[in-house]
Every structure is written in C-alpha cells, then in structure tokens.
Chain A
Amino acid sequence: RKEVEQDPGPFNVPEGATVAFNCTYSNSASQSFFWYRQDCRKEPKLLMSVYSSGNEDGRFTAQLNRASQYISLLIRDSKLSDSATYLCVVKGHAGKSTFGDGTTLTVKP
C-alpha cells in the first residue's frame, strides 16, 4: 500500500462545477499536510497547507480528518485555469515529505 494515495482521475468537469479530491495517508504519526498544484511541464507549486480546523482560500477549501487519515480539497466554481494535477503531500516527524501520485483535473468550457 502506498503511503499517500490519491484517486488519479482524470476529473473532467464543466466550468462552474464543484469538484472534490480526496487523499488518504497510512502513517498516523504524520504531522503536516499540503495540497500542491502542478501544471504540465512545470514544477509543483504550493496551493495550501491543510490544518486540523480546515482552511479556506477563496474558492478552495481544504480539510483534514486525522481519525480517518484523509485530506480533502474542494474547488468551487471551477475555472478553466484550474486545470492541472493536484498533489497531496504528507510530512512526517523526520521532515520527509511524501507525495501522492496526483489527481488530474480538466475544466472544460
């Protein structure tokens, strides 16, 4: 079993749709959680950190469920520019980050 698992997708949604990605992790001692966005042939860029209390940044909402060991990312009112691969990242005690394989989103007009 992978340490960090994501539904690879692809998710194909129309503009304006709401889409949710889930990610599960196996190490219950994991400390920090993040969502990254990676555009084709570009480096990953930090989208948002994920806190236990949940956090929101505009159209993006991230939530963490430690008991069930999963993280979610909700995108509301999807834009064409949201098309990308979204990477779930989990960091443990030793400071090592483990990346999921990513979920590909395509937003269509």
Chain B
Amino acid sequence: SAVISQKPSRDICQRGTSLTIQCQVDSQVTMMFWYRQQPGQSLTLIATANQGSEATYESGFVIDKFPISRPNLTFSTLTVSNMSPEDSSIYLCSVGTLAGGRSYEQYFGPGTRLTVT
C-alpha cells in the first residue's frame, strides 16, 4: 500500500479566502483523486488529478472553485477558492494502485479538516 500525507491536517479560514491542500505519496502512482466528506456523510469525489493535464471534475465541481495541480506522479494540490461556510468539510487525497496485479485498490490520506467561518 502507499503512504500518503496531507498538509495541513486542519485549518480554520475566513470566508472569501482560499486554501491549498497538499498531498504527497511515498511512491509513484498513476491515479490520484480528491474527495470531500461532510460531517456524517460518505465520500464524494471532487475530481481525478491527472499528471501533466487538467483534472477531470465530477458533476457539481468546477475548476474555478477547486483548482487542482498534479506536477508529477507523487504530488498533487487541491485549492478551495473563495471559501464559504458550506465548504467546511474534510478533504481527502486518495491514490489507486494495483495490488499484486489482481485488483485495483484505493488508499486515502489522513484528510484535511477545513472549517470556514
């Protein structure tokens, strides 16, 4: 499995500001994803971070609000722009790896707990 770290682990931000979350993986991975998990809810995929090209966003998420960078196979950033209290959530980086060639498995970073006031 991959070891994933995220920075910051938590932050409290004022509305209207932006926060960039970093995700670092200890090995090169093909697939990297960004998820959001709001209190008491399951995970919602924001986008797939593509190395060397624009991220692929899911319905309801747009690049202007959640710009993503993926400069190489071990690192990605997610920016939450022009924040509002509705953006308060946990943001999770995730990577996909092939497990022994048999199945594709997905692992998660520890998450970034964001509170917008």
Q: Kindly supply a per-residue 1/0 record for chain A positions 78-109, scoring 1 wherever the CB is within 8 Å of any chain B CB and 0 otherwise.
A: 00000000010101000111011110000000
Interface on A for B, CB 8 Å cutoff?
Answer: 32, 34, 42-46, 49, 51, 87, 89, 91, 95-97, 99-102
Would you give the shortest CB distance from A3 to chain B, in whole angstroms?
11
Which of A34, A101, A102 interacts with B106 by CB under 8 Å? A34
A34 touches B108 (CB 8 A): no
Q: In the complex, what distance in Å separates the CA atom of A83 from the CA atom of B83? A: 34
Q: In the complex, what distance in Å separates the CA atom of A108 from the CA atom of B104? A: 34
A43 touches B103 (CB 8 A): no
B104 touches A45 (CB 8 A): no
Answer whether residue B42 sits at the interface, using C-beta atoms and an 8 A cutoff.
Answer: yes
A-B contact pairs, 15 of them (CB 8 A): A32-B103, A32-B104, A34-B106, A42-B111, A43-B110, A43-B111, A45-B108, A46-B106, A49-B99, A49-B102, A49-B105, A89-B106, A95-B31, A96-B45, A101-B42
Interface on B for A, CB 8 Å cutoff?
Answer: 1, 31, 33, 41-43, 45, 48, 92, 96, 99, 102-111
Would you give the shortest CB distance from A40 to chain B, in whole angstroms?
11
Which of B45, B104, B105, B108 interacts with A43 by CB under 8 Å? B108
Q: In the complex, what distance in Å separates the CA atom of A58 from the CA atom of B41? A: 29
* CB neighbours of B105 from chain A (8 A): 34, 46, 49
Would you give the shortest CB distance from B44 to chain A, in whole angstroms?
8
Q: Which of B1, B96, B104, B109 has the most CB of A within 10 A?
A: B104
| 18 new A-B contacts at CB < 8 Å, known A43-B92, A97-B33 | A32-B104, A42-B110, A43-B110, A44-B43, A44-B92, A45-B107, A46-B105, A46-B106, A46-B107, A49-B99, A49-B102, A49-B105, A51-B103, A87-B43, A91-B104, A91-B106, A95-B96, A97-B45
